[in-house]
Amino acid sequence: MTAYTATVTVRLKRGVLDPEAETTQRSLERLGFELEDLRSADQFEVDLDAADRSSAEQRVTEMTERLLANPTIHDYEVAVAERET
């Protein structure tokens, strides 16, 4: 088994209301920052052991689809890297 760290980024799909991002964007604009759009995201780091990178990615994708993200309203990205022990 090899040790991996997977980083999962979960964000609302475009078109889904994101009140946190809207509030933050308005605050940034009041501070003088010009921006076209802002979206919030949650990021999770998962440490796990797996036979190979593909197996680790498959397991983390299943975790994400079952608990970390709601595929109806969220997009997500999974990145897996071998962890130095």
With CA atoms as reference, report the closest residue to 10 among 82, 85, 71: 71
Whole-number Å distance between alpha carbons of 14 and 19: 13
Residue 18's CATH number: 3.30.1280.10
* Percentage of the residues of the chain whose pLDDT score is greater than 90: 96
Say yes or no to pLDDT of 45 above 90: yes
Q: What is the pLDDT of residue 11?
A: 97
Q: Would you say residue 51 has pLDDT above 70?
A: yes
Q: How far apart are CA 38 and CA 7, in angstroms?
A: 21
pLDDT of residue 84: 82
pLDDT at 85 over 80: no
27, containing H or E segment: helix 19-30
What's the pLDDT score for residue 32?
98
Mean pLDDT (the chain) is: 96
**Number of compact structural domains in the chain:** 1
Q: The domain containing residue 77 runs over which residues?
A: 2-82
